[in-house]
Amino acid sequence: MANEARIIVEDKEYTCPIITGTEGEKAVDIRALRGDSGYVTFDEGYANTGSCQSNITFIDGEKGILRYRGYPIEELAEHSTFVETAYLIIYGELPTCEQVEAFSSRLARNAAVPNDMEHFFEGYPAKSHPMAILSGLINSLSCFYPQYATNNHQEDLANFDEVAAAALSQVRTIAAMSYRMSQRLPYIYPKKDLRYVENFLHMMFSEPYSEYIPEPEVSKALNLILLLHADHEQNCSTSTVRMVASSEANLFASVAAGVCALWGPLHGGANMAVINMLEAIHADGDDGSTFIADAKTGRKKLMGFGHRVYKNYDPRAKIIGKACERVMNNLGVEDPLLDIAKHLEEVALQDDYFISRKLYPNVDFYSGIIMRVIGIPINMFTVMFGIGRMPGWIANWKEVAEHPNGRIYRPRQIYVGENQRKYVPRDQR
Ligand code: SDX
């Protein structure tokens, strides 16, 4: 069987090689097509276009498979922690005991933001959205660590371990400080002896004279949430990080752009939109049936449902859905929104509108409920997604920076605007 594709345009035949991935996924390599034929391909939204070859994460949307560096998400969710999984995603291997200790020490050493950065928060209105603060301050880290942000890939790679630790550790600190600022509360500084998640919760909820000690169930649930968000192939925000990294921009600038892309309600903002949707349904005394009817008319979207890649159940949604029940039982709390969510899922999965469009719950459908139960404020939900996705963004920046023949990402377009217009003096328009 020929390992090439043949394209015939204007009665001329062009051949394009076929690329086959580790799991057998196929691609037509069109890199020479424009040079040979003058034609580009058109794929609005890149739904059918591979932008890179990557070693980090694999998704099979039809089978509902997600693997980080070859490890199934179900195994990592059961056995690993966010920090260990972050190491795996960034460096490609599960760490030894010594490696994870050294990594944790780097994170601890890099946990506090530069002193002068505290003044940045004073300029923001209390009601500022934390994603706006997060993207601004992460990018500003390059002002405090210019040696890590030279915009020369080789130089920035030489300091990669420290840059990665600074980004991964301080995204958490900036997030907590933005919450404290919004509540006009004093900042709580990171503690050297606390693990990643416990330190975040300490910085969020401790008070100057009373330390917040999370229930083990809460720490476990937050570890799971962050781990499940740690990477996801070329989603909107990760592709944004790669786009920016391809210009040789430093890691802080690249992941700050990822934060901006994640903010949108069609992407990371969906976890907040799900809770707002469930609360509105609850307030209307609806069990979700009316909302489903509206969603089927196109008037509303069932937030937390549907996915560009998963045409089967998002494996992360399955894991989080089960964790919701476990956390609530162990904490002895109930949340009517969970009942509504489960009813929405049950009805939608039996309704042809959703079945025919292969719409299933995605990672955002249950994640907001579990974050609500463990006490994360709703306007921090997308920030939590950003903390979780940081390892994936860092790993993708590294993959672009290390590419031996890396080229700047610069898609083509099809121009459909006006043509050949003649300038008319202003007084004659
Ligand atoms: C994330 O890419 C990633 O990997 C993202 C992510 C990650 O980890 O990085 O997984 C995280 O972003 C998950 C998605 C979170 N977003 C939401 O839950 C928002 C609600 N979902 C939709 O907006 C939508 O499903 C998207 C954005 C997720 C996917 O959009 P697509 O692939 O462009 O699909 P589409 O809009 O073309 O929809 C196809 C059809 C349309 O109907 P028809 O025009 O064929 O009649 O399905 C309908 C859509 O109207 N549809 C929905 C729907 N999602 C799609 N109808 C009702 N409710 C929905 N949620």
CATH number of the domain that residue 192 is part of: 1.10.580.10
Query: What CATH number did the domain enclosing 362 receive?
Result: 1.10.230.10
Ligand 1 atom with the smallest distance to the CA of 236 is 2
Give residue 267 CA to ligand 1 midpoint distance, Å: 9
Q: Is the same domain home to 155 and 90?
A: yes
Q: Whose CA is nearest to atom 27 of ligand 1?
A: 266
The reply to whether 105 falls in a domain is yes
The reply to whether 320 falls in a domain is yes
Mean pLDDT in residue range 267-281: 94
pLDDT in tens, 230-270: 999 999 999 999 999 999 999 999 999 999 999 999 999 99
Contact criterion met (CB below 8 Å) for 335 and 225: no
Count of domains for the chain: 3
Q: Is the same domain home to 117 and 251?
A: yes
Q: Is the same domain home to 234 and 169?
A: yes
Q: Is the same domain home to 80 and 184?
A: yes
> Given this model, what pLDDT does residue 1 score?
62
The reply to whether 293 falls in a domain is yes
* DSSP per-residue codes, 73-110: HHHHHHH--HHHHHHHHHHSSPPPHHHHHHHHHHHHHT
Label residue 178 by pLDDT band (50, 70, 90). very high
pLDDT in tens, 286-310: 888 889 999 999 889 999 999 999 9
Q: Residues of the chain with pLDDT > 90: what percent? A: 96
Evaluate if pTM is beyond 0.85.
Answer: yes
Q: Is the same domain home to 277 and 366?
A: yes
pLDDT averaged over the chain? Answer: 96
Q: Is the same domain home to 257 and 277?
A: no
Catalytic residues: 307, 364
Give residue 307 CA to ligand 1 midpoint distance, Å: 5
Q: Is the same domain home to 120 and 262?
A: yes
Contact criterion met (CB below 8 Å) for 347 and 288: yes
The reply to whether 409 falls in a domain is no
Label residue 332 by pLDDT band (50, 70, 90). very high
Query: What CATH number did the domain enclosing 24 receive?
Result: 2.20.28
Q: Is the same domain home to 149 and 26?
A: no
Q: Whose CA is nearest to atom 13 of ligand 1?
A: 267
Contact criterion met (CB below 8 Å) for 325 and 370: no
Q: Is the same domain home to 262 and 278?
A: no
The reply to whether 61 falls in a domain is no
What Cα–Cα distance (Å) separates residue 413 from each residue in 40, 207, 334? Answer: 8, 54, 51
Q: Is the same domain home to 12 and 99?
A: no
> Given this model, what pLDDT does residue 287 score?
85
Give residue 167 CA to ligand 1 midpoint distance, Å: 30
pLDDT in tens, 182-234: 999 999 999 999 999 999 999 999 999 999 999 999 999 999 999 999 999 99
Containing structural domain, residue 137:
72-266+382-398
Mean pLDDT in residue range 41-54: 96
Give residue 417 CA to ligand 1 midpoint distance, Å: 29
Q: What is the DSSP letter of 114?
A: P
Ligand 1 pocket test, candidate residues 359, 387, 389, most atoms within 8 A of CB: 359
The reply to whether 89 falls in a domain is yes
Q: Is the same domain home to 13 and 82?
A: no
Helices 270-283 & 336-348, crossing angle to 10 degrees? Answer: 100
Cβ of 230 closer than 6 Å to ligand 1, yes or no, is no
Q: Is the same domain home to 242 and 148?
A: yes
